[in-house]
């Protein structure tokens, strides 16, 4: 390989299509714009979703639903996950380090899914009524 022999890979470069340059080019006359109408004109443009004055689809359909942006700060942990964690005292930092909740989580709640046999003390973490009963039955506490 010599410096004077370097060239781009096949298909990496291609010429810009020159429209409206005669019949022989294959895209002369109307230059790929068809005949007449708004889209054939210079400066003929409309905004996205415009349907020629007809009520646009995004306005014809009913609006519904709402997703709170605060939900991303909430997380939940199961009794099974607490059992597998194997710590005597569990707080938010311990759950984040273990990867059980996301790093942006602020509010964590324990839900009653699975069984708990070890005594676990929760600090700064909520629990549902069923989960609280299961934790206290195993000898733990929720503070």
pLDDT greater than 90 at residue 44: no
pLDDT greater than 90 at residue 57 = yes
At 85 the pLDDT is: 92
Label residue 121 by pLDDT band (50, 70, 90): very high
| Pair of tokens at residue 29 | 């006359």
Beta-sheet strand order (sheet of 74-78): 74-78, 107-111, 126-127
- The answer to whether residue 122 scores a pLDDT higher than 90 is yes
CA distances from 123 to 33, 63, 81, 109, 142 (A): 69, 42, 16, 11, 7
Q: What is the pTM of this model?
A: 0.55
User: What is the structure's pLDDT at 102?
Assistant: 95
Assess whether pLDDT exceeds 90 at residue 1: no
Which strand (E) or helix (H) includes residue 80? helix 79-85
Domains and CATH numbers, the chain: 69-142 (3.100.10.10)
């Amino acid at each position: 390989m010599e410096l004077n022999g370097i060239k781009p890979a096949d298909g990496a470069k291609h010429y810009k299509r020159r429209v409206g340059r005669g019949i022989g080019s294959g895209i002369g006359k109307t230059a790929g714009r068809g005949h007449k109408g708004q889209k054939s004109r210079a400066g003929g443009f409309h905004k996205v979703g415009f349907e020629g004055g007809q009520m646009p689809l995004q306005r014809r359909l009913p609006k519904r639903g709402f997703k709170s942006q605060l939900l991303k700060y909430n997380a939940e942990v199961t009794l099974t996950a607490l059992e597998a964690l194997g710590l005597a005292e569990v707080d938010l930092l311990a759950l984040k380090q273990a990867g059980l909740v996301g790093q942006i989580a602020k509010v964590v709640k324990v839900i009653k899914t699975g069984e708990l046999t070890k005594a676990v003390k929760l600090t700064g973490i909520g629990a549902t009524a069923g989960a609280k009963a299961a934790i206290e039955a195993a000898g733990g506490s929720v503070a």
